[in-house]
Amino acid sequence: MAIFINKKTKLLVQGITGRDGSFHAKEMKKYGTNVVAGVTPGKGGTKVAGIPVFNNVADAVAKTKANTSVIYVPPAFASDSIYEAVDAGIKTVICITEGVPANDMMKIYHYIKHRGVRLIGPNCPGLISPELSKVGIIPGNICKRGNIGVVSRSGTLTYEVIFALTSGGMGQSTCIGIGGDQIIGTNFIDVLTAFENDRSTKGVVMIGEIGGSDEEDAAMFVKKKMTKPVVGFIAGRTAPPGKRMGHAGAIISGSSGTAADKVKALNKAGIPVATSPLELPALMTEKLKEMKAKKGTVKKTKTKRSTKAKKK
C-alpha cells in the first residue's frame, strides 16, 4: 500500500514537450510509472519517448483514462493548467511549477475542494511511492520501499532526509513534498491523516521550516489524532527575521513562525526534533521501540484483566 499514488496510477504530463516536462516524463516512465499521455497545445499527434501527446487534457483523459496529472508549465499558464485538469475529471493533480500567484491559488484552493480533487503543490517536488510510482522530480535512486512515510514543506531537503533514511536501512511507503508557498493544495494534516489510515505506514517523518503556523497545527493534530510515531526536522533555525528563505511561505513575521517556536510545539506534542537529517533514522528507531513497548504493556494488561475476569 501507499498514499495518493501506486501501481494503478495513470499519469498525464502537462507541458510534456518542454525542457523540464520531457526530461521528467522520461525519468518517471523509466522508474516504472504508468505515463499514459502528455499534453501540449498544438503538439497533438506527436510522441515523447513513446508517450502520445494531445492538444488538451479532456482529449487525453477520454483516450487514455488518465487519473493523475503532473504540471510542468511556466507560471503564467500553471493556474489554467490546474483548472483544465480538474475540469477534465482528473482527481489527483501535482503542480511542480514555482511562482504561481497567491491570489490565483486562493481561487484554485476553493475550486478543487468543492470538486473533491487532491492538489499537491504548487512549487513542490511531487511524490514517490518507492517501486510503485513516481510523480514529480524526487530522485528514485535514493528511495527504498518500506514503511516510513515522509512529508515535507522543503524541496531539496526532502532528498537529503530520504537519503538519510535509506542509508539507515529505513525504507519509505510514500514521500511527499507539499510545497512551501503560502497557499498550497495539500497541507501537513491532510498527509498525516492519510498516513495514519495507511496500513503499510508504521511511522512518519515530518520536515518543516520557518514561517506560518502549519507545523504547530500539525503538532496539535499528531497529539490528538495520531497513533503512529512521528519525528521531525525544522529547517531555517539560523534565518534572520523578515528575510524570505527560499519559499514564499518561509518568512518570520514578528515573533511568529520561528524555528524555536515550531520545535517547542513539536516537542510538546511528543514529537522529537532532529538537529540534523542524519539523526532522523535513530530518532525513528527509538520511537518505534517505544511504540512497540507501549503496545506490549497494553496487551499484557488486557490479558491479566481477562484472566482475572475468567477466574471470577
User: Catalytic site residues?
Assistant: 247
The grid coordinates of residue 259 equal: 524555528
Angle at CA of residue 115, ends 109 and 117, nearest 5°: 70
Sheet architecture: strand order including 133-136: 133-136, 126-129, 172-177, 145-152, 203-209, 230-235, 273-274
SS3 136: strand
Q: Rounded to the nearest 10 degrees, how much is the dihedral formed by the CA atoms of 279, 94, 122, 255?
A: -40
Sign of the Cα torsion 89, 90, 91, 97 reads: negative
Q: 10 Å Cβ neighbour count for 171?
A: 15
Residue 205 pairs in a beta bridge with 150, 231
